[in-house]
């Protein structure tokens, strides 16, 4: 695409006297330089304390592990946002305008506008630091969207900025007042179209007299492709910690490696703008109370912790339920076995008792019971025992029954 790094051009320059800061300043002061374009990347905002997306260990992606994301990029996927907006809102609170101060480089873009040089500032950043540096809004093109505005993801109704800011700082998830859909800042998520303004402003690059490319690795397209759209005669100046794209392959390309703010200050000094730059930067003090930010952090942390606990509980709920059911079943089996064992012991104890007492079976024992120990007979309705018929004695109660007649005759014969 013309943006991969190629062999540096070592021939003579055409418009510039050299490939250094004094040569750039001299060219800017000439009548040849009227329209300056600027491309800003994440490296410009890192000096403000905002971590970029791709730097190892300091990037935003690597700081998202505590949000229990399936993968870091999910925080910027619209489908995941619909299911779970909390991770994005947590991240949004960390990046929300008002927490960070614009850098000298952001302010330099504002000074370019003040001196009527700036045509357009294309930025990859979503932090709105260009706006906070008072760069004119009509000259800013936020290629990946920003926190400058917010809409419902369903009905696309606009949401009030002050309410949105208060909700994000409090750790609250915002719902649309029209349809109750989720509201998010106008940041371009993966799979979403780039802002229409970005598409409309691209052709203006053909009019560029000078292009500054600051703090970007030029690895994300289509933003990275913008450098190839300026005229071949247009000087391109890369200010970055390392080489990027194909800048350096044209006669008037200048590569200035180093920290953005340090290089910009040196350029401002050559232009005679250093005092103005410091004065304008002094107007960008952060106005958000630190205590309010800390309270918001505590509320967000509580919500993140609560969500983490719910996720863990849900993950283990099913195995725990199965474990409880198995435990109940095991306990029922144990009780049943104990009852069976006790029943068997009682039966054996009864058999042993009968053997030791020598008592007859239940039927014979009933026949030999004495009157005192025998059970009462049938009872009347009143509960009194039933009496024997008149003239008869209870056979069980007769103490001396009369001997049979045959026995009496034998006794007489003996006499």
The residues carrying an active-site annotation are 144
| Cβ proximity of 227 and 39 under 8 Å | yes
Phi, psi of 3 (to 5 degrees): -115, 0
> Omega before 239 cis (within 30°)?
no
**Residue appearing with tokens 């979403």:** 192
Annotated binding site: which residue ranges?
152, 155, 176, 179
DSSP 379: B
Give dist(CA 241, CA 248) in Å, integer: 14
Q: Which residues of 145-162 are buried (b: 16+ CB within 10 A; e: fewer)?
A: bbbbebbbbeeeeebeee
Name residue 182's beta-bridge partners.
175
Task: Classify 206 as helix, strand or coil.
Answer: helix
Give dist(CA 37, CA 73) in Å, integer: 30
| For the chain, the helix, strand and coil percentages under 3-state DSSP, each to the nearest 5 | 50, 10, 40
Annotated binding site for Zn(2+): which residue ranges?
152, 155, 176, 179
Give dist(CA 255, CA 23) in Å, integer: 12
* Nearby residues of 109 by Cβ (< 8 Å), 6 or more positions away: 38, 40, 118, 121, 130, 133, 135
Smallest Cα–Cα separation from 136: which of 115, 110, 97, 116? 110
Structure tokens at 39: 């491309």
Residues making up the chain, counted from first to last: 415
Give dist(CA 231, CA 15) in Å, integer: 13
Task: Classify 253 as helix, strand or coil.
Answer: strand
Task: Classify 328 as helix, strand or coil.
Answer: helix
DSSP 41: -
């Amino acid at each position: 695409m013309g943006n991969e790094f190629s062999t540096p051009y070592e021939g003579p320059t055409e418009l510039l006297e050299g490939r250094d800061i004094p040569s750039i300043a001299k060219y800017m002061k000439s009548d040849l330089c009227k329209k300056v374009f600027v491309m800003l990347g994440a490296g410009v905002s890192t000096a403000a304390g905002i971590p970029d997306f791709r730097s190892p260990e300091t990037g935003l992606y690597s700081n998202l592990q505590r949000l229990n994301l399936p993968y870091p990029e999910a925080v910027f996927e619209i489908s995941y946002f619909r299911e779970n907006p909390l991770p994005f809102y947590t991240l949004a609170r960390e990046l929300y305008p008002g927490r960070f101060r614009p850098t000298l480089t952001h302010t330099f873009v504002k000074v370019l506008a003040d001196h009527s040089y700036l045509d357009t500032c294309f930025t990859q950043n979503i932090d709105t630091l260009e706006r906070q540096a008072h760069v004119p809004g009509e000259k800013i093109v936020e290629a990946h969207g920003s926190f400058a505005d917010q809409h419902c993801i369903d009905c696309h109704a606009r949401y009030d900025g002050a309410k949105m800011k208060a909700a994000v700082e409090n750790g609250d998830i915002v719902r649309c007042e029209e349809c109750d859909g989720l509201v998010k800042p106008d940041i371009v998520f993966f799979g979403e179209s780039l802002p229409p303004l970005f598409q409309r402003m691209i052709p203006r690059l053909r009019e560029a007299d000078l292009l500054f490319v600051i703090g970007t690795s030029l690895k994300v397209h289509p933003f990275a492709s913008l450098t190839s759209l300026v005229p071949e005669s247009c000087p391109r100046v890369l200010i970055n910690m390392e080489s990027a794209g194909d800048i350096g392959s044209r006669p008037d390309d200048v590569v200035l490696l180093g920290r953005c703010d340090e290089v910009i200050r040196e350029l401002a000094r050559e232009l005679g703008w250093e005092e103005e730059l410091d004065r304008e930067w002094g107007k960008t003090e952060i106005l958000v109370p630190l205590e309010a930010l800390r309270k918001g952090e505590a509320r967000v942390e509580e919500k993140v912790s609560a969500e983490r606990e719910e996720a863990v509980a849900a993950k283990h709920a099913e195995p725990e339920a199965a474990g409880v059911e198995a435990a109940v079943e095991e306990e029922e089996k144990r009780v049943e076995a104990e009852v069976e064992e006790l029943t068997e012991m009682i039966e054996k104890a009864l058999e042993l008792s009968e053997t030791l007492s020598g008592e007859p079976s239940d039927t014979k024992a009933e026949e030999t019971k004495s009157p005192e120990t025998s059970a009462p007979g049938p009872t009347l309705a009143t509960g009194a025992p039933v009496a024997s018929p008149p003239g008869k004695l209870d056979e069980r109660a007769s103490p001396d029954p009369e001997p049979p007649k045959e026995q009496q005759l034998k006794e007489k014969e003996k006499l």
